[in-house]
């Protein structure tokens, strides 16, 4: 643990009794005293505070920032209105996903948040691809997520956020300095992600934690919350071996960037992705990300191999994420199977500790999102 980086909230995590673990090169809280199950349930019922300061924060400045960023992602950045945010992903020449990210148009610049494990590569990728744009890594700010149905009420005691809609962004003055706020998150709940000056981060977090609705939440509950919401974890559910069509992320590619759109193509892997998007018929052997519900009580976790029949010799897919879903009350998983086996209620078999157990394909998300539209 001595070689790991820490976030500006590290001392607060220790004070709160967090169990710390290595994650993406950082020492991070996996759970607090109340445990993963109660942290998950509290976030769904009230508000949870997550330290996500390990993630990469990047500013893109310059008149060509939007156009240049469109050369690296299949999303419409030129069409992203000021004050709005969009989910995006970097792709490679084979159509594989290098990382998924959030892009916010703040008017004078674009604010990009990337995954912690990929941030060095992502920043290098941006600097290589955006030759006319200034790419600045933000290293003096923490990033805090406040998620749950009471998140708005809690944050509103500090800054006025009630008029913000889902995926909107704003920079607001506060007693803790200027806060860069987006109404978004990765739990399926209404909530916010807040970038705050490093020196004010602990005081800001303490102010929120003093509120009755707010509890600190660790990585364990963050994972089960995003899994119930059917959201991908990079390096597990998506990576360079999966393209956006296989990952069922085509909803994130706007019409203008699709093969018939006015700004189609022009990003790495556009040939592979474009052909799949425009194909008259689906390749039934191509993989698709699906939800999975084991028929028993034992979770099917990452790495479980899937078979079409209990006695089948050859596997047809694999589980990429799996856990018990505290809100839905049963085990849940995500994984990849051929498109021909991706219909809801298709019965498959997962091999757990040498035994084949039944599992059914399920619709995603496992629990409907409650974003404020």
Residues 126 and 250 in one domain: yes
Q: Are residues 269 and 289 in the same domain?
A: no
Domain co-membership, 304 together with 271? no
Residue range(s) defining the domain that contains residue 350 = 281-373
Please indicate, yes or no, whether residues 258 and 361 belong to a single structural domain of this protein.
Answer: no
Q: Are residues 221 and 346 in the same domain?
A: no
Domain match, 32 and 115 both:
yes
- How is 33-62 classified by DSSP, letter by letter? TTHHHHHHHHHHHSEEEEE-TTSEEEEEES
DSSP characters for 142-205?
EEEEEESTTHHHHHHTTS--TTPPTTBEEEE--TTS-EEEES--SSSSSEEEEEEEGGGHHHHH
Which of 255, 279, 303 lies at the terminal end of a domain, its last residue? 279
Distances, alpha carbon 346 to alpha carbons 34, 184, 284, 291, 361, in Å: 37, 33, 14, 11, 5
Q: Which domain CATH number covers 327? A: 2.40.30.110
Q: Per-residue confidence of the chain (373 residues) as pLDDT tens digits? A: 779 999 999 999 999 999 999 999 999 999 999 999 999 999 999 999 999 999 999 999 999 999 999 999 999 999 999 999 999 999 999 999 999 999 999 999 999 999 999 999 999 999 999 999 999 999 999 999 999 999 999 999 999 999 999 999 999 999 999 999 999 999 999 999 999 999 999 999 999 999 999 999 999 999 999 999 999 999 999 999 999 999 999 999 999 999 999 999 999 999 999 999 999 899 999 999 999 999 999 899 999 999 999 999 999 999 999 999 999 999 999 999 999 999 999 999 999 999 999 999 999 999 999 999 8
Distance separating alpha carbons of residues 331 and 24, to the nearest angstrom: 26
Residue ending a domain, among 260, 279, 298, is 279
Q: CATH number of the domain that 93 lies in? A: 3.30.1360.120
Q: Give me the DSSP letters along 314-370.
A: S--EEEEEEEEETTTTEEEEEEEEEGGG-STT-EEEEEETTEEEEEEEE-S-SS---
361 and 220 in one domain?
no
Domain boundary among 250, 279, 308: 279
Do 135 and 160 lie in one domain? The reply is yes
193 in a known ligand binding site: yes
For residues 35 and 95, state if they share a domain.
Answer: yes
| pTM, rounded to two decimals | 0.97
């Amino acid at each position: 643990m001595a070689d790991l980086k820490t976030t500006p909230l590290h001392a607060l995590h220790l004070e709160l009794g967090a169990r710390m673990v290595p994650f993406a090169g950082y020492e991070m809280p996996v759970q607090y005293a109340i445990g993963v199950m109660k942290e998950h349930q509290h976030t769904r019922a009230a508000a949870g505070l997550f330290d996500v300061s390990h993630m990469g924060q990047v500013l893109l400045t310059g008149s060509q920032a939007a156009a240049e960023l469109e050369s690296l992602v299949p999303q419409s950045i030129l069409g992203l209105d000021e004050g709005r945010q969009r989910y995006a992903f970097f792709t490679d020449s084979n159509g594989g996903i290098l990382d998924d990210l959030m892009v916010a148009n703040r008017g004078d610049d674009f604010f990009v948040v990337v995954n912690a494990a990929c941030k060095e590569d992502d920043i290098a990728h941006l600097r290589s691809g955006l030759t006319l744009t200034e790419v600045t890594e933000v290293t003096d700010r923490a990033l805090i997520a406040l998620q749950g149905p009471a998140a708005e009420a809690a944050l509103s005691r500090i800054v006025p956020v009630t008029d913000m809609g889902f995926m909107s962004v704003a920079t607001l003055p506060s007693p803790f300095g200027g806060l860069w706020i987006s109404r978004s998150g990765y739990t399926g709940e209404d909530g916010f992600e807040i970038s705050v000056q490093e020196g004010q981060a602990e005081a800001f977090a303490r102010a929120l934690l003093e509120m009755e609705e707010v509890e600190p939440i660790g990585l364990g509950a963050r994972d089960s919350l995003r899994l119930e919401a059917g959201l991908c974890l990079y390096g597990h559910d998506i990576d360079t071996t999966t393209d956006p069509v296989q990952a069922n992320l085509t909803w994130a590619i706007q019409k203008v960037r699709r093969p018939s759109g006015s700004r189609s193509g022009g990003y790495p892997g556009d040939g592979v992705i474009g052909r799949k998007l425009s194909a008259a018929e689906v390749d039934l052997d191509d993989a698709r990300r699906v939800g999975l519900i084991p028929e028993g009580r034992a979770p099917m976790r990452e790495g479980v191999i899937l078979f079409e029949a209990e006695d089948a010799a050859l596997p047809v897919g694999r589980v990429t994420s799996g856990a018990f879903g505290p809100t839905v009350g049963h085990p849940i998983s995500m994984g990849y199977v051929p498109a021909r086996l991706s219909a809801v209620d298709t019965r498959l078999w997962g091999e757990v500790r040498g035994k084949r157990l039944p599992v059914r394909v399920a619709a995603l998300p496992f629990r409907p999102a409650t974003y404020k539209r």
